[in-house]
Each structure stands twice: as structure tokens, then as C-alpha cells.
Amino acid sequence: MHAGKRRGLDYTPLFRFLLSRVGAPWNEVHSEAVARLDQQAPIFWMVALRKEDWQEYVRLGESSYFSGLCVDALGLLQRVNPGLGPDSLAPQCSCCTHTFNGVPFTRRFEAP
């Protein structure tokens, strides 16, 4: 990861890495993730270790959504809600391409 760029969107590769390791032992995933980063905080934007912090999804930047992740009783990285996908959420506006785990939303923006 390019050092010196710390704005939110630059963590997309980290989030994609974490997603790709769902089902793997968290301690291994964590060590691998830390090795790529200059700080640990962004890992925990997506991964919640305490149940009270679990989130079904997290947002990175204006319109990039990702699955919220957690660690299960066996110590494996999991999605908080595995049923959530690109058809689950409605876009907040019509001008941006909203994505869920990198896949464009299938629902259209509906004016309130």
C-alpha cells in the first residue's frame, strides 16, 4: 500500500483483502493485514471484535459499502450478515455509483 496516502478510499484494497479471507482464522488474517499497513486502525473500521460493535455493513468514502466483519466463536473471520448483498441497500443519490463489496447496487435511487 502506498505510504503517505491515508484518505479513506485508499483502504479499498485492505477491505477487499479482508473480504477475501472470510472463513479464515482471524489471527492469521490479522497478522497478514498488519504486515501491509502503517497503522492498524483501518482494519477495525471493517472488523468488529466485540459483539456490541458488530455492524451489518460499513461505508468507505461516499458510496462504497462493504460487509461488516466479525470473529466467530471458533476464531474465524465472518460476515456479520452473510445475506447482505448489492441488492440489499438503496443508493443515497442518483449521481454516484454505489457499490457493495465492489459490486454496483442493483436497486435504483428513489427520491424521498
Binding residues for Zn ion, per CB under 5 A? 93, 95-96
Q: What are φ and ψ of residue 95, in 5° steps?
A: -95, -15
CB distance 63 to 96 below 8 Å: yes
Report in angstroms how near the CB of residue 109 gets to Zn ion at its nearest: 8
Question: For Zn ion, which is the closer residue by CB, 26 or 105?
Answer: 105
Report in angstroms how near the CB of residue 2 gets to Zn ion at its nearest: 26
Report in angstroms how near the CB of residue 98 gets to Zn ion at its nearest: 8
User: Strand (E) positions, the chain?
Assistant: 47-48, 57-60, 64-67, 69-71, 77-79, 99-100, 103-104
Question: For Zn ion, which is the closer residue by CB, 41 or 95?
Answer: 95
Question: For Zn ion, which is the closer residue by CB, 26 or 100?
Answer: 100
Cite the DSSP H helix spans in 24-86.
26-36, 43-46
